Amino acid sequence: MINTKMVSLDENLIRNLTIKSSTPLVFRKFVSDWPMCGWSQEKWISVFGNREIPFRCLTKKFISDEPCWERRCHLKNLTCKSFFDCLTTSKEWMYFDYKHLHQWLNSDSELCKEITWKKFGYPDKGASETTLWIGNKGAHTPAHRDTYGYNIVAQVHGKKRWILFPPETCGLKPTRVPYEESSVYSELNFYCPSNLDVFKGLTGGRMVELSAGDALLVPRGWWHYVQNIDNLNITLNTWLPHEKDNSTRVSEALIKILVAQICKDLPQETARLLVNPNEDDISDTPLAVLFLQLETVVNTYLDKKRKSRRLKRQRTHDDSHDSNVEEADLKHLLDNHSNNIEIVPAITNDDLIEIIKDNLKEYAGDDRAHDEDEVEGATSSLCLTKAVINAFSQSNVIDLVKQNLFVKLS
């Protein structure tokens, strides 16, 4: 066991902490020395210049049974300056979200040059492995869990609220419609729901607000709903691979084949409602290509499995595994308050509902009627199709298909 009383909180310990922890962790002021945490609005404007970037937008007073799916939003192309100029006056929330930096900025830009995840024990991770999120107050991501890896988030401007639930949480109503390979969504609307009863009984929730300089670890499979609290909010994050990703990629390839084949025979407008915009080309993907993708991930998984078995047989009792932090060491690191690392605090069901009520008061006011645009982009009309996709996508179903598939191919 590592004696953490004698060891400084170095990059290797942080890396091991992010790999081993099964609970969300907050690293207070951990990245406050990153230059971009102190950048002014003028500095951010200079980074993007006059280039127009797409913001996902929707009226702030939107009330709905379903989340604000991406299909319900409209895109507005704005320069960074134009976005900043309307921060306090816009009746819409606006989000330039989930944007891979290398696709929007040159590698020699100041932002790209400054980004490194070395402090977390990942010196090889930089701008090319980083995504950017810029939005105003109320901008949010529907509750979901990522299908791959785990997530490290760095807050560089403004406050952002994270509501998280463990992977096994009941009552979140998981759905694969709208389909996106990297996400399983919850059907619950944490922003401005028309019905609060669906939240009663939810347990295991945790909540934290990140300020500039804070960082957050989201372990594999944790559900999260994320909302901007301040008028201007800027966040960076990186996803790290997990040892179970190879198995998950097989599951996702199987689900993709199902969704793609269903979409092929539906009217285009109906098929569009089944998927997120970034999956619009799924119905045009030839079945041969989908099976080639499946074959690739299956072979990768089986190869890894064989290598793992060989290594297990070769391993001796004297092998050292001290690179991992033991549970007691994790507890010591967290108990040492000078490290400024803490477990994301639990939130009661009553407090969760109060937060959602506050959202309704702030954004919807007394106007509790559904927005007239609610029907557009809604998935409720896809009752049977949606139920079929969700039934086949259940983990117990896909896991059984995978097991049978591996047996046939072994």
Q: At 132, phi and psi to the nearest 5?
A: -120, 140
Asked whether the bond before 24 is cis by omega within 30 degrees of 0, the reply is no
Q: What is the pLDDT of residue 366?
A: 57
Q: What is the pLDDT of residue 121?
A: 95
Structural domain harbouring 250: 246-317+382-409
Domain CATH for 64: 2.60.120.10
Mark the ranges of the chain whose per-residue pLDDT is less than 50: 1-7, 317-318, 320-325, 369-375
Cβ-proximal residues to 97 (8 Å cutoff; 6+ apart), any chain:
56, 133, 134, 135, 139, 141
Q: What is the pLDDT of residue 380?
A: 66
- Decide if 322 is inside a domain: no
Q: What is the pLDDT of residue 372?
A: 44
Q: What is the pLDDT of residue 4?
A: 43
Cβ-proximal residues to 72 (8 Å cutoff; 6+ apart), any chain:
58, 62, 373, 374, 376, 377, 378
> Do residues 158 and 18 make contact, with C-beta atoms less than 8 angstroms apart?
no
Q: Are residues 252 and 238 in the same domain?
A: no
Q: Are residues 93 and 164 in the same domain?
A: yes
Q: Are residues 106 and 135 in the same domain?
A: yes
> Do residues 247 and 140 make contact, with C-beta atoms less than 8 angstroms apart?
no
Q: Are residues 203 and 270 in the same domain?
A: no
Taking the model in full, what pTM does it have?
0.91
Strand order in the sheet with 223-228: 174-180, 183-186, 140-146, 223-228, 160-165, 206-210
- Decide if 63 is inside a domain: yes
Q: Are residues 250 and 235 in the same domain?
A: no
Tens of pLDDT, residues 179-203:
999 999 999 999 999 999 999 999 9
Q: Which of 203, 157, 198 is nearest to 64 (CA)?
A: 198
Q: What is the pLDDT of residue 327?
A: 60
- Per the structure, the count of domains in the chain is 2
Q: Are residues 238 and 253 in the same domain?
A: no
Residue 314 CB-half CA count within 13 A: 6
Burial of 56 (0-12, 13-18, 19+ CB in 10 A): buried
Q: Are residues 212 and 110 in the same domain?
A: yes
Report the alpha-carbon distance of residue 208 to residue 228 in Å, rounded: 12
- Decide if 280 is inside a domain: yes
Q: Are residues 220 and 311 in the same domain?
A: no
Q: Are residues 101 and 135 in the same domain?
A: yes
- Decide if 4 is inside a domain: no
Q: Are residues 362 and 386 in the same domain?
A: no
The single residue listed with the structure tokens 């045009």 is 284
- Decide if 324 is inside a domain: no
- Decide if 298 is inside a domain: yes
- Decide if 57 is inside a domain: yes
- Decide if 148 is inside a domain: yes
Q: Are residues 236 and 88 in the same domain?
A: yes
Q: Are residues 179 and 212 in the same domain?
A: yes
